[in-house]
Amino acid sequence: MGCTQIQDGQVFVIRDGDTLLVKRLQRKLGGVIRVISDNRLYPEFDASADSLQVVGRAVWKGGLI
């Protein structure tokens, strides 16, 4: 199971129905989460913390093969 505790500015995988999204999350007042795409073609939006299903934090690891 991945890390699902939201940390400001970190990138997470979230579930929207049957779709998985990779988005940057930011906490706001009143239990609201700002969902931010690094791709400017996709607009930011707010979601309640209760309605947001966080699958886990996205991580990247690189190295030589």
Q: Per residue in 25-62, pLDDT tens? A: 999 999 899 999 999 999 999 999 888 899 999 988 88
Closest CA to 39 of 58, 28, 23, 17: 23
The pLDDT, as a whole number, for residue 2 is 59
Q: Where are the beta strands (DSSP E) in the chain?
A: 11-16, 19-28, 32-36, 45-48, 53-57
Please tell me the predicted confidence (pLDDT) of residue 20: 93
What is this structure's pTM? 0.81
Local confidence band at 16 (pLDDT 50, 70, 90 cut-offs): confident
